[in-house]
Each structure stands twice: as structure tokens, then as C-alpha cells.
């Protein structure tokens, strides 16, 4: 398949600043698509802006930031609070399955899938996660994401960037993902904006599907994306072959 470079802005709908900066980058042609948070303070306005401007939106599954939307039930807030507490309890917690929280995970994920469909008029065709927690053990082992969805893979690292055990675990996890979901071939963050690093990523995108995440609410990333010329050719929309 021909290559593609997708730059995706996370945290759409989290708050007004995140939404507005991401929209400016989309309109500039520097960002391909966004990942939308639901049940947050700017979620409803963000959905309206997406419809108005034809923004390509996926679901940014949120298990680690408290819901700030005005109509979130106290029960759902408590279920998410328990999940947040567990996932933040230890660096290895996301890799551990917690049977006692299975019901909470199922309810919180389903609530966000339903909220996205209400706001955007259709189920999400792709899903990633705030702090990448869509890859935590409970979500994966309970199969809470719809089969066939585009799901964000782990960060891509080369030998020397992480220890061998870390790279082995990520490769194993990605292999399981591709059995049930569709994924890009590589995934990187926008920073650090080192020219040599960005050139290597652009070279990969000549023959592979490469996704790069950005958070335009951060000043350094926003300034880079809004430059007159970044030297990066970006897909219009989140495009995967097949």
C-alpha cells in the first residue's frame, strides 16, 4: 500500500483551549484528524464544531481524567474514580488485570461509546486513549472495544531507545491488537521536533501508514504546527488502506 502520515490531535473536547487550538491546526492543514473526549466540559461544543467544519473525529477513551461534563451521573463518576485510583496506583497497574473492577471498566467504556454516538451521530470508527489507557489490561482482556475498529498501537521504538523487555512487551501487545482491530504500522509522538528525527519518520511514511500524536494546547507543539512551512506532508483525514 502507499504510505501516509497522519497527525492526530488528542484531547478534542477536553476544554475550550484544547478544542480551539486543534481546530486551528486542522484548518491550517497541519493536523489530519482529532480524538474526541466525551463527558467533558467542552465535549458538546466540540462535537458541534466538528460537524460544522467536517473534522475527522475518533474517540479518545478517558479512564484517567475526571469527567467534567455537566450531566455525568454520580454513579458513573464513582466508577471512573475507582478506575483512576487503580491505574494511578503503580507504574505497572495498567498491565495488570483487576477482576474486581471489571464491571466498572465495562460501564465506563460503554458510557463513552454511547456518548460519542449521541454527539457525533455514529459509533467511533477509531479509538485511542487518554494517557494510552485504551491498552490497559482490563480493556484488552474484557474486549471492550468493538472488533474491527481502528485502534492506536503502542509507540514505535528502535533498538536502543527502550530496553529489550519493554520492546518485546509492546510488540507482543501490538500483535494481539492486529488480530481483532486495525492499526497503523507505526506510531510516534510529535515531540521532540528534531529535524533529523522528523525526516526519518517522514521516510517511513513513504511506504507505511504512520500515525503521529500531538497536543496543540501545548505551546511548543502549536507553534510548530502553525509555522508557515513545517516540511511535513500530512494526510487530510485519518486514512488507512483497506
Element (H, E) at 196: helix 195-204
Enter the pTM of the model.
0.94
- Look at residue 13 in the predicted model and tell me its pLDDT: 98
Q: What CATH number was assigned to the domain covering residues 4-225?
A: 3.20.20.370
Question: Phi/psi class of residue 81: alpha, beta or left (left: φ > 0; alpha: ψ in -120 to 50)?
Answer: alpha
Distance, CA of 134 to CA of 205 (rounded, Å): 24
Phi first, then psi: give them for residue 214, nearest 5 degrees.
-140, 155
Identify whether the C-beta of residue 91 lies closer than 8 Å to the C-beta of residue 43. no
- Look at residue 171 in the predicted model and tell me its pLDDT: 82
Identify whether the C-beta of residue 19 lies closer than 8 Å to the C-beta of residue 43. no
* Domain residue spans of the chain: 4-225
Distance, CA of 234 to CA of 10 (rounded, Å): 16
Distance, CA of 175 to CA of 155 (rounded, Å): 13
Q: Tell me, what DSSP letter sits at residue 146?
A: P
Residue from 108, 7, 103 nearest 56 by CA: 7
- Look at residue 164 in the predicted model and tell me its pLDDT: 64
- Return the C-alpha cell found at 60: 479518545
Q: Tell me, what DSSP letter sits at residue 16?
A: H
Per-residue pLDDT of the chain (242 residues; tens, 9 = 90+): 479 999 999 999 999 999 999 999 999 999 999 999 999 999 999 999 999 999 999 999 999 999 999 999 999 999 999 999 999 999 999 999 999 999 999 999 999 999 999 999 999 999 999 999 999 999 999 999 999 999 999 999 765 667 766 777 778 888 889 999 999 999 999 999 999 999 999 999 999 999 999 999 999 999 999 997 777 889 999 988 75
Q: Find the helix packing angle between 102-120 and 43-53, rounded to 10°.
A: 40
Amino acid at each position: 500500500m502507499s504510505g501516509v502520515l497522519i497527525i492526530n490531535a488528542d484531547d478534542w473536547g477536553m476544554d475550550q483551549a484544547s478544542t480551539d487550538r486543534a481546530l486551528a491546526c486542522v484548518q491550517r492543514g497541519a493536523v489530519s484528524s482529532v480524538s474526541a473526549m466525551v463527558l467533558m466540559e467542552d465535549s458538546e461544543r466540540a462535537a458541534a464544531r466538528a460537524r460544522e467544519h467536517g473534522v475527522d473525529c475518533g474517540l479518545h477513551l478517558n479512564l484517567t481524567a475526571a469527567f467534567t461534563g455537566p450531566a455525568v451521573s454520580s454513579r458513573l463518576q464513582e466508577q471512573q474514580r475507582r478506575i483512576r485510583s487503580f491505574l494511578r496506583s503503580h507504574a505497572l497497574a495498567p498491565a495488570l488485570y483487576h477482576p474486581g473492577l471489571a464491571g466498572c471498566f465495562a460501564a465506563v467504556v460503554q458510557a463513552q461509546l454511547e456518548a460519542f454516538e449521541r454527539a457525533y451521530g455514529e459509533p467511533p470508527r477509531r479509538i485511542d486513549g487518554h494517557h494510552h489507557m485504551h491498552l490497559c489490561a482490563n480493556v484488552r482482556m474484557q474486549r471492550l472495544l468493538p472488533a474491527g475498529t481502528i485502534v492506536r498501537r503502542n509507540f514505535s521504538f528502535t533498538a536502543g531507545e527502550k530496553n529489550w523487555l519493554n520492546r518485546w512487551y509492546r510488540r507482543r501487545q501490538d500483535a494481539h491488537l492486529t488480530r481483532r482491530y486495525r492499526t497503523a504500522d507505526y506510531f510516534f509522538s510529535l515531540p521532540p521536533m528534531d529535524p533529523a528525527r522528523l525526516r526519518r519518520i517522514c521516510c517511513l511514511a513513504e511506504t507505511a501508514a504512520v500515525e503521529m500524536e500531538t497536543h496543540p494546547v501545548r505551546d511548543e507543539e502549536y507553534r510548530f504546527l502553525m509555522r508557515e512551512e513545517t516540511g511535513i506532508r500530512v494526510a487530510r483525514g485519518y486514512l488507512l488502506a483497506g
